[in-house]
Amino acid sequence: MFRSVESLKGCTVAASDGEIGSVEELYFDDEAWGIRYLVVKTGNWIDGRRVLISPYSVIRMDPGGLSVYADLTRQQVSDSPPVDTHQPVSRQHEAEYHRYYGYPAYWGGVDVWGMSSYPAFSRAALSAVSPETLAQLALYGDKLPGDGHLRSTDAVDGYHVAAADGDVGHVSGFIFDDEAWTIRYLTVDTQNWWPSGKEVLLATEWIFLIDWYQSSVSTQLTRDAIKDSPAYDSRIPLERDFETQLYAFYGKAGYWSEERASLRLKEPGGAAFAAP
């Protein structure tokens, strides 16, 4: 099912023994567009500090999206490694976080979640290979902070969208798959470039550069192509029929197609990034 990132903001996050807090923003991986963490503002029980909740721990969400349920206890969250959400989250901190919760590393694999397209894993299977997993995580123990690829959706919201032949609008939102926890589309508002413009979807795989200095997202699609692409109505749930129409308009194979599945291992890992 597709959801907007905006719909998650303010949602209650519940542990097995009570509420943890509410979703404030999301951190995504700027290489694979996987949503790696919910940034949750806790209540007074741990002084209102912000904690990271991984999709690895999410067991379900309400149909209305008002609550997120995590397979954690409040004590686990309270004792989790501290994080300064005002600074970039480093791979070093991620390694510490994953060691604490016993999660597999998502980085270094061939898919969005390491060896899988989904943030699901078997603790029994993981324990059987824990020495190798711990060795992999240990590789990042000596790295300097700031070497990760995590960015806040709040930071990218509003970025200018640059087509092959000029600006075409700005990022107005994010659409993610709530099973794969992957951002599939940016919503782009074209009205600041085209007065009678509309909101359109831009697949994240069509983005080749995010420039943090210029606050811009770049695609090799042209302005005319984006202008003529199917209009997106956020009031209507996004379905595969619309995705098929969108990909067909641009003459591209959908990420769900058999053709793409056979080429998955040969595709590049993601966009390039001009990081600060």
Span 181-213, pLDDT tens digits: 999 999 999 998 888 889 999 999 999 999 988
pTM of the prediction?
0.86
Task: Note whether 100 and 185 are same-domain residues.
Answer: no
Residue 44 banded pLDDT, cuts 50, 70, 90: confident
Total domains present in the chain: 2
271 CA to centre of own chain: 14
Task: Note whether 198 and 247 are same-domain residues.
Answer: yes
**Structure confidence by residue, pLDDT tens digits, 222-247:** 999 999 999 999 999 999 999 999 99
Task: Note whether 27 and 143 are same-domain residues.
Answer: yes
Structure tokens at 183: 């951002």
More confident residue, 260 or 92: 92
Inter-residue contact 68 to 11 (CB < 8 Å): yes
- With residue 97 as reference, give the H or E element that holds it: helix 91-101
Q: Which of 102, 95, 55 is nearest to 76 (CA)?
A: 102
- CATH classification at residue 220: 3.90.50.10
Which of 92, 123, 151 is a domain's end point? 151
Task: Note whether 146 and 212 are same-domain residues.
Answer: no
Structure tokens at 129: 């290979």
Q: CA-CA distance, 19 to 73, in Å (whole number)?
A: 9
Q: CA-CA distance, 156 to 149, in Å (whole number)?
A: 13
Residue 143 banded pLDDT, cuts 50, 70, 90: very low
Q: CA-CA distance, 190 to 195, in Å (whole number)?
A: 8
Q: What is the mean pLDDT of residues 56-67?
A: 86
Task: Note whether 21 and 35 are same-domain residues.
Answer: yes
Domain that holds residue 235: 157-274
